[in-house]
Amino acid sequence: MISPSQKRFPERHPINYDDWLMGRNLLLQRKPIAYRGWLISTQVIEGKLWLRWQHPAEDFPRYRHAIEGRGLSEVIRHIRFSIDLAMKLENSQLES
């Protein structure tokens, strides 16, 4: 039996089920969702859908990425990677 994290969907690039589920929930709920304390939200700018993400210590989403040809799941994967990287950098600064 295939676990949800191993499911793949037919797209240009195989996607992770967790990324797909996060994107689905984000679009359906139309309110920010949390990933490791960061908030991820949607915004439409000039007819294009953007995902924005916000550091837990800030009161506005500083970062954003347009959803274009790469697709929602690819952008979510990029955002999760960026958040994980930012957390590693913050932790390394605290340890120094």
Model pLDDT, residue 15: 61
End-to-end C-alpha distance for the chain, whole angstroms: 45
User: By three-state DSSP, how is residue 4 classified?
Assistant: helix
How far is the CA of 86 from the CAs of 58, 64, 77, in angstroms? 14, 14, 14
**Domain ranges (residues) in the chain:** 12-95
Query: How many angstroms separate the CA atoms of 81 and 86, rounded?
Result: 9
pTM: 0.69
Model pLDDT, residue 26: 73
Contacts of 50 (CB under 8 A, 6+ apart): 42, 43, 44, 64, 65, 66, 67
Query: How many angstroms separate the CA atoms of 47 and 54, rounded?
Result: 22
Model pLDDT, residue 14: 57
**Which residue is associated with the tokens 């960061």?**
38
pLDDT digits 0-9 by tens, 39-65: 998 888 888 888 999 999 998 888 999
